Chains A and B, each alone.
Chain A
Amino acid sequence: MYSANFDYYRPKTVAEALELLRKNKGARVLAGGHSLLPAMKLRVSSPSALVDIGRIKGLSGIKASKAAVKIGALTTHAAIAASDAVVKACPILAETAGQIGDTQVRNRGTIGGSLAHADPAADFPTVIVALGGTLTATGPKGDREIEADKFFKDLLTTALKPGELLTSISIPAYGNFPGMAGAYLKHRHPASSYAVVGVAAMVGLVGGKVARVSLVVGGATANPVHAKEAEKALTGQEPTEANIAAAAEHVAMAITHPMGDVYASGEYRTHLATVMSRRALMMAAERARG
């Protein structure tokens, strides 16, 4: 397939990129290109210009501290999946990165691109919301921090303002916190490899009881959603099979307008969300027990 023509810019710095975005109103940011280029090839998207941020130094890389892991927006899925620092400090993120697309996609696709594109079937948004990550947007006026919960606004829509660039993502290094664990489960679309439903569960145990729980469902709705009723139901409980199953029964309440397609209806996605939540919570609880 052949995309329409466009102007192409390759800034060396964030400042240059921001200036190019200011000057070219119809421009799109190109990172790994694994969401944008297929859409352009099908001529579903025909931006007048691309600002290729792939060569900007300092946008790629992983820095882990005791409390948080900071990941540059241009870091590839493959790098995240293979990072010892991530595996130790935030294992669910590495586990998720390893399930995205396929080898070739992981070698090119970036975490920033995935989050900024906000595809409902993507994996990272679900996990970042579950982790309570913080995203840094850089604009003409400097940096601005956005909570993951507030970042995803609608289908393919984020809190990024025109002219802003997502530059890094910070997530809690829960791997360093005793009693804390997570799990990400994905029902993979047999053709696209995207998540039909993805469930991220984080469980924190104190004295054998669930002190903190974060349960987020992606793929079923325009953006990932916290299964708040389920979280509430499990908090303070022992993570037994029965308690977890009872809590998971509340997941459907969070999914008010499920999406459907040829492969899976909204009703089935809601059902999958329930089953997978139960399984992800079980797995996370088991891991949390150590």
Chain B
Amino acid sequence: MTAFIKKEWMENVRTGRIWILLLLFGLFGVMNPAIAKLTPWMMEVLSDSLESQGLVVTQVTVTALDSWVQFYKNVPMALLIVVLIFNQTFTGEYQKGTLIPVVTKGLARPKIVFAKMLMLLAVWTIGYFLCYAITYAYNAYYWDNSVVAHPLFASFCYWLFGVWVLTIMTFFSASVTSNVQVLLGTGAVVFGIYLLGLIPKLSGYVPTKLMEGMKILQGAVKPADYCVSIGTAGVTMVLWIVSAVLCFDRRKL
């Protein structure tokens, strides 16, 4: 299995994926506080044209919270890009037939799924927390992070949501043949569960609740309220991975 993890790593480095993602997460990390910092200035620049439309700009004060708002706006975009880049993790290999020599050399199929999953998790975790750390550091420098409640826990929730999405994507990539099917399948499941979450009785249980990091930061909800959705995310993640292994075992290469 280590041999296959090394292969995955080499693939990510040599195809440039890892650099693109690091750059992207780094950029988002800088952009979040930068946009917050620049907001008053932009308002001032725009104030004349806004005034002509009847809007009066008063003093705008920015806190760390505004920067965190940006963080939770940008991170879904980063997750989407990760999904777009990695959705062909299996389908790409099916189309080229590159897994055939590996499997016929005797590498057990579940190990391939685990190796790919681990690499994907590592990339998401490192990228995500890089972005988090940069935003956190700038916020601490310009403002004060103490205005927000539980910033680490809130970001952990979104990170877990990302992991959950990526296990769904891995399942679809292992079981269908084209990239479009992977994207449609993953999108449909995530959106479907999001819709379920709109039903008030279910809203506390669905993993999509983990996206609401802002509510934690604003102190509107307590971390304990997230226990159930963390639990369901954990259980369904295991189910997605088990299904991915089962599908891949039965799969024609």
Asked whether A and B interact, the reply is no
